[in-house]
Structure 1
Amino acid sequence: MAIRPTEYAKGQGSKAKADRDIIGLCVVVGTILLFVANGSSVMTDFVRGIVKGAHPRDQLLSTALLLNIALLLFGWRRYADLTNEVGQRRQAEQEAHKLARTDPLTGCLNRRSVSEALQEIIATARSTGHEVVAMMIDLDNFKRSNDAHGHQAGDAVLCEAARRIRSALPENSIIARLGGDEFACAAIYDPDHAEAIDRLVQRINEAVANPVEIDGLALEVTASIGLASTSVAETSEPSDLAAILLHRADLAMYQAKKAGRNRYCWFEQNMASELRYRSELERGIREGIPAGEFVPFYEKQIDLDTGKLTGFEMLARWRSPRHGLLSPEIFIPVAEEIGLISDLSESLIRQALRDAREWDPALTLSVNISPIQLRDAWFAQKLLKLLVEANFPPSRLDIEITESCLHENIGVVRTLITSLKNQGIGISLDDFGTGYSSLAQLRSLPFDRIKIDRYFVSNLGENKDSAMIVEAITTLGRGMDLPITAEGIESSEVLDELRKYGSFKGQGFLYGQPTDAQSVREMLAQSNQLLVAAPEPAQPAAAQPADEATTGPRSATA
């Protein structure tokens, strides 16, 4: 049972009181002395009186003897009880101290105690001419596994991961759980054999990556590890060095995640500036979404047989006041990690639907959806709400889902796709050829279109493997009656090669760079593909306000 601070203080007071119970001790000692002094003379007379049934000759002394015996028993009982209480209090104190320093789930040190433990291990290493490496370990994809299988399974994974890490560490190492799925470790090593640390970290990566068997389930997680060593630190104070090592190891761990997870990375000086840049991005995203800094750009989609414009794919751009125009490769991963991708995506879709209302009704709008949004059970309802707000026909909207989403949670994806299809929204399988989807998944999911990943298309004519993949996907599309869009058409040579395999919709830089809403509007106006309101009857100039006299036709909404 946990002990609250007030109870612990009271326990300390009782312990001190028990340790200083002079009265009880004096009673015991005094009664023993009195019994020894008087017992020999009085006891004989007392026992003789009891045996013969006669009254003792000295009743006062006999009474004193009985009182002496009672006091002796009372004092001894009091002393024994207090001694037992002291033992219990000391045990509670030790347990409270342990709870204050360790993680109750894994038995590792906790965040409060890791710094002190690291200081001690640094001091020990320095006294023997050794160095210390600090490791920050974060379990990859743990949250997804925890959400899918429950917290009990998640706790089991954490305990097993801690056990595996602990077993891989050398003696006199430390391991702490900082919270969630993040661990910190430290080990002493010989600077003449620094390569041993790389072998150690590789063993930890391999150990954590082994599946964890829980109730018949094989749960798989990996670890991203950041390393920092005392050998390159600028200070010799253990207290300062402990904080520096943990911070640097954390920066390195973030780089390991950025590089692809399930790997380790040593700290380098440029990581600090990268962290500051990332912090600026995070702050900018949080402030930029409500400020309207994120805007949709549009890339043309063309019917390759006729050369006719069929629609646009919406691409995200960030007009940052500090960094200028940024591409989605920079800010989308950050928005996903900080939990703002849904807000960002909904803001862009809302703007895109408003823009597309002015286009010719034959033109479609394609929108990419983040895998994280597919985990939202209410995503379909949110999207339909945006369509209603914009008065935009669902049949003109096409949602693009990346192939890698299909193996994450096929049940949720199937429910989402079915819900959107029932509303008339088109569904495309994006980046086909780069993921793990099977023919069974393609047959069971009601996709309307397949999009070939730009990597295979842009290499046509130069790479035989790309040509074989494009041909296979084209054959598959014909067999399943699924039209195909080819991304990455960047030259006329690629276009000529692509036409050999069949009929496609295509997009790429050959047809122009992605552009903003105003440029699209001007282009569509020139080709008479922009909806405008019918001109109002002319009015006398005198009766027409000055601001309306200089205003052109207003756009109508679909």
Structure 2
Amino acid sequence: MRERKDVPSIAESADTEKLEHPRAFVSATIALLSILMFAGIGGEVIASIIAGTASDRDPVLAVALILNIALILIGWRHHNEVTVQIQNHKEATKQARSLALRDPLTGFLNRRSLTGEVDAMIKTAATRNRVVAMFVIDLDSFKYVNDLNGHHVGDVLLREVGKRIMSALPGSALGARLGGDEFAAAFQFDPSNPAAVDAVADELVERISLPFDIEKQSVQTSASVGITRSDHDCNGVETLLRRADIAMYAAKHQGKNRAVWFDGSMERMLEERNRVEQGMRRGIPAGEFAPYYEQQIDLLTGKLHGFEVLARWEHPTRGLIMPEDFIPVAEECGLISELSEYVMRKAFTEARDWDQGLTLSVNISPAQLKDPWLAQKIIKLLTETNFPASRLEIEITETALFDNLGIAQSIISSLKNQGIRIALDDFGTGYSSLAHLRALPFDRIKIDRSFVTSINDDNESAAIVDAITRLGSSLGLPVTAEGIETAQIATSLKDLGSMAGQGWHYGKPMAIGQTRRLLADKDMLTSGPKKGVEKETLDDMPSLRRSG
């Protein structure tokens, strides 16, 4: 919060009061003495006038009387000014104290004052065999409201949200604004009845999700709420706030617009997430991440036509770490672009001397599609590694398109202008697949693995795979099926017509050494050792040795 220059600090106001009270006493004393002098001199002058005994002293006494009157007026005016000044400083001190304890926008407690109030509440609750529930409340779409409607509407929304929060809480509850669109609340409850806390949380979430009427427009938002309680191994207010904050983020990950209680596993997961993030920040520049290659096969001919590039973390002490353990963290902490560019650069360099008919498919994270410079970054990598654009296929998921269609259209257009092909990944899982196929110039459809793996066990999955295959044929788009894990699945897919496929049935993703041996056996290396010549050992390939 910015400091207001026209309001003195509490310390400044206190010092001013110490100075101004003696000044008021002195000015009042001077005025009082002037009045006494006026009474004495004026009495003598008036008495001489009445008695008719004027003397040579009378003109002097008359002048003294006039000066005395002037002194009385000046002293009294100064006294009044000092009194007003003291009163103004008292008001400023009161305002400064209020600003130090309250959020000026909502009138809620601020974080500093909340700490003291909750600490007192915990001590009081202990004497009554009750405990304190702590809420941390974060709006789910406040940035969108600000961007769409302006900060003035955002400020009004925060004030209205504050009112709804307090209306949902018990009468003795404390409310605070921690900053931005994050609030906190605390109240006492019977530890044997946590359902009462659930009822308050549900009511709060429901009220905030209702539309707000702000300046003749309807504004919608929702809230994620984290809850914790003071009797579960809690050593202070800051611990309560931290745990409630962790639970709030868990609520966001579970879909937002809900309330979630804190439990110890959340803290352990957060600690593990932080370890992963720190490891990635060290490991990317250290070269611990590597591209692994999953074969893509023509199902009818059995011919290898390319690979999908998959990231693997070859950790120096933990061994091979799979992408599901680090990709979500990379997306959350903003490392996904750096990681993706590093793996792509390495893959482009390693694949330059492969058969020129082999393609590389690279999946782009939804987080990367928010970057309007993504296309330029990929083109720059191709130029620097001298990898042909015609051999690259970029895969974009439907969910990424749903959130960023405008930017995606621009990125796809730029990539296709360079000869890069675009595949729609996880097809069939989104809500507007056909609309995306019409709006964007895709070159391939990839059927989501969830349908492929269950094609022989679920009639609905089989019907979906058949429909997607027919759709691709009618639109002239090649189809790739992911998740082919058995010969039975491969056979069922072959019966549907021409398509490509990938999955463990054709081999697990391979590091560069094993990939080059495969290509050498197929005589698909344009330089270096050919079939029967490559004799690399596991000792020469630490990535294979670590992955087993």
Query: Normalising TM by the smaller chain, what interval?
Result: 0.7 to 0.9
Distance 1:473 1:109, change over 3 A: farther
- CA spacing shift, 1:511–1:78, aligned 2, 3 Å: same
Shift of 1:103: 3.3
In structure 1, C-alpha distance between the alignment counterparts of 2:145 and 2:478, rounded to whole Å: 35
> 2:31 corresponds to which residue?
28
> Which amino acid is 1:319 matched to?
E
Partner deviation per Cα, 1:221-257 (whole Å, 9 max, x = no partner): 44332221123235xxxxx421221222223233333
Does the 8 Å contact 2:9/2:93 carry over to 1? no
Q: CA deviation at 1:469?
A: 2.2
Residue 398 of structure 1: how far off its partner (Å)? 0.7
CA distance 1:458–1:534, change in 2 (3 Å) = closer
Per the alignment, do residues 144 and 431 of structure 1 end up closer, same or farther by CA in structure 2, a change over 3 Å counting? farther
Q: What is the match of residue 491 of structure 1?
A: 486
Give the distance between the partners of 1:280 and 1:233, measured in 2 at CA. Answer: 24
Is residue 421–residue 427 contact of structure 1 (8 Å, CA) maintained in 2?
yes
Q: Which amino acid aligns with 1:470?
A: V
Relative to structure 2, which stretch is displaced further, 300-309 or 475-484? 475-484
Q: Spell out, residue by residue over 1:272-331, the C-alpha distance to the aligned partner (whole angstroms, 9 max, x if none).
A: 333322221111011011011111111111111212111111111111224321111111
Report the 3-state secondary structure (helix = DSSP H, G, I; strand = E; otherwise coil) of the residue aligned with 1:472: helix
Counterpart in 2 of 1:295? Answer: 290
In structure 2, C-alpha distance between the alignment counterparts of 1:332 and 1:534, rounded to whole Å: 34
Q: Give the TM-score normalised by the residue count of structure 1.
A: 0.86
C-alpha distance in 1 between matches for 2:105 and 2:217: 21
Which residue in 2 is equivalent to 1:169? 169
**Which amino acid in the other structure matches residue 16 of structure 2?**
S
Contact kept? 1:46, 1:56, Cα under 8 Å: no
Q: CA deviation at 1:41?
A: 5.5
Say which SS state the counterpart of residue 233 (structure 1) adopts.
Answer: coil
Q: Decide which moves more: 329-338 or 251-260.
A: 251-260
Q: Can you list the C-alpha shifts for 1:356-377, whole angstroms capped at 9, x where unaligned?
A: 2122111110111111111111
Mapping 1:379-528, distance limit 5 Å:
379-528=374-523
Report the residue type matching 2:19 in the other structure. Answer: K
Measured in 2, the distance between the counterparts of 1:341 and 1:148 equals 27
Alpha-carbon contact 1:319-1:326 (below 8 Å) kept: yes
TM-score scaled by structure 2?
0.87
Write the distance in 1 (CA, Å) between the matches of 2:179 and 2:156.
15
Matches within 5 A, 1:194-213: 194-211=194-211
**How many Å separate the matches in 2 of 1:213 and 1:416?**
37
Query: What secondary structure is seen at the aligned counterpart in 2 of 1:392?
Result: coil
Q: Which amino acid aligns with 1:24?
A: S
The letter for the 2-side match of 1:83 is T
In structure 2, relative to structure 1, the CA distance for the partners of 1:332 and 1:465 (3 Å cut) is same
The Cα of 1:151 is off from its aligned counterpart by 5.2
Report the Cα offset of residue 125 of structure 1: 2.5
Q: 2:337 aligns with which of 334, 342, 347?
A: 342
Give distance in 2, aligned partners of 1:366 and 1:84: 78
Shift of the 501–325 alpha-carbon distance from structure 1 to 2, 3 Å rule, reads: same
Per-residue displacement from partner, 1:510-529 (whole Å, max 9, x unpaired)? 11111111111111111111
| Closer/same/farther in 2, CA of residues 147 and 288 from structure 1, 3 Å limit | farther
- Give yes or no for contact 2:427–2:433 (8 Å, CA) kept in 1: no
Tell me if 1:273 matches 2:259.
no
Q: Quick one: distance in 1 between partners of 2:421 and 2:382?
A: 13
Change (3 A) 1:424 1:273: same
Distance 1:112 1:297, change over 3 A: same
Count of aligned pairs: 526
The 1:280/1:46 distance shift into structure 2, 3 A limit, reads: farther
Contact 1:312 1:363 survives alignment (8 Å) = yes
The answer as to whether partners of 1:461 and 1:497 remain within 8 angstroms in 2 is yes
Aligned to 2:116: 116
- 8 Å CA contact 1:138–1:182 kept in 2: the answer is yes
Instruction: Supply the AA of the counterpart residue of 2:307.
Output: F
Alignment match, 2:15: 13
Distance 1:533-1:362 versus aligned 2 partners, 3 A rule: same
The 3 A distance-change label for structure 1 pair 519 and 145 is farther
Partner residue in 2 for 1:90: 90
Structure 1: how far apart are the matches of 2:50 and 2:436? 100
Label 1:380 to 1:526 Cα distance change in 2 as closer, same or farther (>3 A). same
The amino acid of 2:68's aligned partner reads N
Q: Which stretch shows the higher mean deviation, 170-179 or 82-91?
A: 170-179
> Counterparts in 2 of 1:211-250, with a 5 A limit?
211=211, 221-233=221-233, 240-250=235-245
Cα–Cα, structure 1 residues 353 and 143, in superposed 2: closer, same or farther, change >3 Å?
Answer: farther
- Which residue of the partner structure matches residue 548 of structure 1? none
Deviation at 1:502, TM superposition (A): 3.0
Q: Give per-residue Cα distances to partners, 1:29-67, cap 9 Å, x unaligned.
A: 222333445545645777999xxxx99982333333322
Kindly provide the amino acid, as one letter, of the partner of residue 18 in structure 2: A
Q: Secondary structure, in 3 states, of the residue corresponding to 2:177? A: strand
Deviations 1:315-360 (CA, angstroms, capped at 9, x unpaired) = 1111122432111111111111111111111111111111221221
Q: What is the letter of the counterpart of residue 466 of structure 1? A: S
| 2:230 and 2:240 in contact (8 A); partners too | yes
User: For 1:366-377, what aligned pairs fall within 5 Å after superposition?
Assistant: 366-377=361-372
**CA distance in structure 1 between the aligned counterparts of 2:360 and 2:55, rounded to whole angstroms:** 117
Alpha-carbon distance in structure 1 between the residues aligned to 2:173 and 2:430? 41
Of stretches 365-374 and 67-76 in structure 1, the one that deviates more from structure 2 is 67-76
- Checking the alignment, whether the CA contact within 8 Å between 1:3 and 1:96 is kept in structure 2 is no
| C-alpha contact 2:8 2:93 (8 A) present in aligned 1 | no
The one-character-per-residue Cα deviations of 1:411-432 (angstroms, maximum 9, x if unpaired) are 1111111111111111111111
Partners of 1:462 and 1:166 lie apart in 2 by: 53
The AA in structure 1 aligned to 2:22 is R
Distance in 1, Cα, partners of 2:149 & 2:377? 26
- Take 1:76 and 1:531, find their aligned partners in 2: how far apart are those partners? 104
Contact 1:233 1:241 in 2 (8 A): no
Within the candidate set 258, 263, 275, 1:263 is matched to: 258
Tell whether the 8 Å contact from 1:141 to 1:222 is kept in structure 2 after alignment: yes
CA distance in structure 2 between the aligned counterparts of 1:152 and 1:326, rounded to whole angstroms: 47
Name the CA shift for 1:331/1:534 in 2 (closer, same or farther; >3 Å): closer
> Equivalents in 2 of 1:39, 1:325: separation in Å?
105
Give the direction of change, closer, same or farther, for the CA distance of 1:376–1:199 in structure 2 (3 Å limit).
same
Q: Following TM superposition, by how much is the alpha carbon of 1:142 offset from its aligned partner in structure 2, in angstroms? A: 4.6
SS at match of 2:326: helix
**CA deviations over 1:478-532 (Å, ceiling 9, x no partner):** 3332222111111222223323433221111111111111111111111111121
2:308 matches 1:306:
no
Is the 1:174–1:185 contact (alpha carbons within 8 Å) kept by the matching residues of 2?
yes
**What is the CA–CA distance in structure 1 between the aligned matches of 2:516 and 2:215, rounded to whole Å?**
58
C-alpha contact 2:7 2:92 (8 A) present in aligned 1: no
The residue type paired with residue 81 of structure 1 is: E
Deviation at 1:439, TM superposition (A): 2.8
Shift of 1:465: 2.1
Give the deviation of 1:92 after TM superposition. Answer: 1.9
Percent identity among equivalent residues? 48
Report if aligned partners of 1:406, 1:437 keep a CA contact under 8 Å in 2.
Answer: no
Amino acid aligned to 2:33:
G
Q: Unmatched 5+ residue regions in structure 1?
A: 235-239, 536-558
Distance verdict in 2 for CA 1:473–1:254, change over 3 Å: same
Gaps of 5+ in 2: 531-548
